[in-house]
Amino acid sequence: MKFFIDTANLDEIRKAKEYGLIDGVTTNPTLLAREGADWKRQMELICKEVDGPVSLEVIATDAEGMLKEARELVKYGPNVVVKIPMLMEGMKAVRQLSEMGIRTNVTVCFSPAQALLAAKAGASYISPFIGRLDHIGQDGMDLIGSIVTMYRNYDFKTEVLVASIRHPMHVVEAALIGADVATIPFKVLFELAKHPMTDLGIESFLSDWKKTFGS
125 part of the interface to ligand G3P, by CB under 6 A:
no
Q: Shortest approach of ligand G3P to residue 191 CB, angstroms?
A: 14
The catalytic position among 2, 17, 83, 120 is 83
Q: Which is nearer to ligand G3P, 42 or 164 (CB)?
A: 164
* Of 29, 65, 77, 131, the one binding ligand G3P by CB under 6 A: 131
Asked if residues 51 and 78 have their Cβ atoms less than 8 Å apart, the reply is: no
Q: Which is nearer to ligand G3P, 96 or 179 (CB)?
A: 179
201 burial (CB, 10 Å; 0-12 / 13-18 / 19+) is exposed
Q: Please tell me the total number of residues recorded for the chain in this structure.
A: 215
Q: Where are the alpha helices (DSSP H) in the chain?
A: 10-18, 29-35, 39-49, 63-73, 88-99, 112-121, 130-135, 140-154, 168-177, 186-191, 196-213
* Of 6, 12, 69, 159, the one binding ligand G3P by CB under 6 A: 6
96 part of the interface to ligand G3P, by CB under 6 A:
no
164 part of the interface to ligand G3P, by CB under 6 A:
yes
85 sits in which H/E element: strand 80-85
Asked if residues 163 and 141 have their Cβ atoms less than 8 Å apart, the reply is: no
Asked if residues 147 and 115 have their Cβ atoms less than 8 Å apart, the reply is: yes
Q: Which is nearer to ligand G3P, 9 or 28 (CB)?
A: 28
Residues 31-90 interacting with ligand G3P (rule: CB under 6 A): none
Calculate the CA dihedral of residues 28, 116, 161, 73 and round it to 10 degrees: -40
3-state secondary structure of 31: helix
Q: Shortest approach of ligand G3P to residue 85 CB, angstroms?
A: 11
Question: Is 92 one of the catalytic residues?
Answer: no
168 burial (CB, 10 Å; 0-12 / 13-18 / 19+) is middle
Q: Which is nearer to ligand G3P, 64 or 142 (CB)?
A: 142
Q: Which is nearer to ligand G3P, 96 or 164 (CB)?
A: 164
132 part of the interface to ligand G3P, by CB under 6 A:
yes
Would you name the residues annotated as active-site residues? 83
Please report, as ranges, the residues that interact with ligand G3P according to CB under 6 A: 6, 26, 28, 129, 131-132, 163-164, 183
